[in-house]
Amino acid sequence: MKPVESKKSHNGIITTAILWCLLIIFIIPFAIMLISAFKTNAEIMGNPLAISKNPTLSNFIDAFTAMNYPVALLNTFIITLISVALIILTSAMVAYYVLRSKSKVGKFIFYLFTSSMMIPFQAIMIPLVTIYGHLGLLSNRMTLIYLYIGFGCSQGMFIFHGFMKSSIPISIEESAKIDGANVKQIFFGIVFPLLKPIIATLAVLDVLWIWNDFMLPSLVLTKPFQLTLPLSNYSFSGQMSVNFGPLIASLVMTIIPVLVLYIFLQKYIIEGITSGAVKS
Amino acid sequence: MGHNKKAQGLKFFIAFAAPTVFIFITVVLIPFVYGVIMTFTDTNGISSSINWIGFKNYIQVIKDKAFWSSLLITIEYVLASVIFTNALSFIIAYLLTLGIKGQSFLRSAFFTPNLLGGIVLGLVWRFIFQKFFVYIGTAFHIPILEVSWLADSHKALIAMIIVSIWKTTGYLMIIYIAGFTSIPKDLLEAADIDGCNKLQKILKIQAPMMASSFVICTFLTITGSFMAYDINVSLTKGDPFGSTTLISLNIFREAFVHNNYGKGQAEAIILFIIIAFIASLQVYLGKKAEVEQ
């Protein structure tokens, strides 16, 4: 038995070595950013590999004010939070209607929503800008949240529908009905709390989408005080085409909140991605 | 009694479904239908005189060399991204289900690039391609790195593909890991007893059992890279000489830079038809894979 075991651990070492080498390649971009963010522009141009001899925070200070960091962070945070909360609420409710109403309307909504998931955003953006522009609704963060609900609710409905169908026994609902509870009481009192695991999944998917989204907000938000982090990064990169130091610092500042969150929630995020991908 | 039931059904609809359905109709359905109508007009988004012009926009698109070249570039980008991303993530997922030390840390670490949006990714890699690689190329005399890849019309597309692989691999890895771990252990043990080696086990047992993971991952990457925009606009902006203009960027510019709303929308509808065809194929193959398991 012994030679087999030693061969096995030998293989384990090779596997580990391959994976760590791959990981280093994967991590290099992050490392380069961290190294460069603390260097002066002259140092970056001179030798991008070297670690700065006198690390400086001036890039961060420049970027912080020039990209209006606190405002962009707050915009991104509020837009993401409200949109995701409302997507979860609206799509859970519509999924409950589709599942429990047993009507033709419910079936129709299900097919309408799921078939719309095939439409790429690019096929909607031009008429969207035309219509909402004529109505005077662009340049407005509330409009953006409204649009996110519209674009997010079909996937949400689909995921909630699948979960409710397989994991919410109708018998508890029926016994509550006999006790005199109405539909709203049953949904918010019994069904919604049972959705927690799938709410986490959808929240992960939607937060990653909306936090990082660029195309839709670039069409809707135009004023400097409305910009989200990706928009602010992009417009800042236009001003900093040769001045790499502050640009890199602005990217580091954009990444850090997400990375910190990931370190604490990675278990849920990975689980959420797994079940989300398999379900949709 | 029947009347009462109908009223209850209506109440249920108004309270639970109506608001969401209204938002969906105003955000997705009306713009989509209006978008189809737009392709038969000469609208530019600003002027109020709009004329019916039949299929002229579509004919213009078909005659437009820039459209065909961007479609072709997109297809190249899609094929390369799909093949390399899936191969790499499958291998990493396999190695990360063998039970080595630090497995869960490595899984989380490989996923990290997915936390970043396309804009941040593109800008980071723009810096890497323009400064970092060029420095290494000149310092160590590696000819292939001496000139920025983003300035070369062939290598700029390769640069985009590399970034796309870097971003998506971790995501697919998670799905493939789920596929690997869903395979019953006794099946693999039985294969061990029968004297299968590792490669035989992968090819004869694991890969066929993971058909649905392959379907999900392949189509996720196909549709994702067909619609790629953020990486394109932040990494290359379609340069040099339009050699990296993917279809989304082409549509965006046609509409919002050249103000050809009708023609841009016609291109968008063609993209929709491509995506819808691919998505229907996925649903069909996905059902087939499930049945076969």
Residue with tokens 């909630």: A160
Residue in B177, B214, B224, B182 with CA at minimum distance from that of residue B289 = B214
Distance from CA of A183 to the nearest CA of B (A): 8
Kindly identify which residue of chain B lies nearest to residue A242, measuring between CA atoms: B127
| Identity of the residue in B119, B135, B272 whose CB atom sits nearest the CB atom of A233 | B119
Q: How many domains does chain B have?
A: 1
The pLDDT, as a whole number, for residue A154 is 95
- Of all residues in chain A, the percent with pLDDT exceeding 70 is 95
The pLDDT, as a whole number, for residue B293 is 59
Per the model's pLDDT, the better-predicted residue between A66 and A81 turns out to be A81
pTM of the model: 0.92
| Residue at B218 is within a domain | yes
What Å distances lie between residue B190 and A33, B36, B210, CA to CA?
A: 49, 57, 18
Per the model's pLDDT, the better-predicted residue between A241 and B16 turns out to be B16
Sign of CA dihedral B90, B248, A248, A234: negative
Range of the domain at B222: 58-292
Distance from CA of B246 to the nearest CA of A (A): 12
Give how far the C-alpha of residue B118 lies from the chain's centroid of Cα atoms, to the nearest Å.
12
CATH code of the domain covering residue B165: 1.10.3720.10
Alpha-helical runs (H) found in chain A: 2-37, 41-46, 58-66, 69-100, 104-116, 122-134, 141-167, 170-178, 183-186, 192-194, 196-212, 215-220, 229-239, 244-279
Of all residues in chain B, what percent are helix, strand and coil, respectively (each to 5)? 80, 0, 20
| Residue at B217 is within a domain | yes
3-state secondary structure of A181: coil
| Identity of the residue in B13, B106, B216 whose CB atom sits nearest the CB atom of A101 | B13
The pLDDT, as a whole number, for residue A264 is 87
Contact criterion met (CB < 8 Å) for B166 and A29: yes
Contact criterion met (CB < 8 Å) for A212 and B117: yes
* Mean of the per-residue pLDDT values of chain A: 89
| Residue at B6 is within a domain | no
Query: Per residue in A158-187, pLDDT tens?
Result: 999 999 998 888 888 888 888 888 899 999
| Residue at B4 is within a domain | no
The pLDDT, as a whole number, for residue A2 is 41
Kindly identify which residue of chain A lies nearest to residue B23, measuring between CA atoms: A150
Query: Per residue in A137-162, pLDDT tens?
Result: 999 999 999 999 999 999 999 999 99
What's the fold here for domain A70-239? MetI-like fold (1.10.3720)
Is residue A7 over pLDDT 70?
no
Question: Quick one: pLDDT band at residue A40, thresholds 50, 70, 90?
Answer: confident
Question: Quick one: pLDDT band at residue A1, thresholds 50, 70, 90?
Answer: very low
Distance from CA of A116 to the nearest CA of B (A): 8
| Identity of the residue in B92, B175, B275 whose CB atom sits nearest the CB atom of A120 | B275
Contact criterion met (CB < 8 Å) for B111 and A129: no
| Identity of the residue in B38, B132, B230 whose CB atom sits nearest the CB atom of A215 | B230
Residue in B227, B226, B215 with CA at minimum distance from that of residue B283 = B215
| Identity of the residue in B28, B113, B248 whose CB atom sits nearest the CB atom of A116 | B28
Mean pLDDT of A88-98: 97
| Residue B149 near residue B129, CB atoms below 8 Å | yes
| Residue B93 near residue B180, CB atoms below 8 Å | yes
Q: Is ipTM over 0.85? A: yes
Contact criterion met (CB < 8 Å) for B123 and A133: no
Query: Per residue in A198-240, pLDDT tens?
Result: 999 899 889 999 999 999 999 999 898 999 999 999 999 888 7
The domain spans of chain A are: 2-58, 70-239
Would you call B226 an interface residue with chain A, using a CB distance cutoff of 8 Å?
Answer: yes
DSSP for residue B45: S
Q: Provide block-wise average pLDDT over 10 residues at a time, chain B (293 residues).
A: 77 94 97 95 78 90 94 96 96 92 90 91 92 88 88 92 94 93 86 84 86 89 93 91 93 92 94 92 82 66
Per the model's pLDDT, the better-predicted residue between A276 and B34 turns out to be B34
Cβ neighbours around B172 below 10 Å, total: 25
Give the B window 14-73 contacts with A, CB below 8 Å. Answer: 15-17, 19-21, 23-24, 26-32, 34-35, 38, 43, 45
Is residue A279 over pLDDT 70?
no
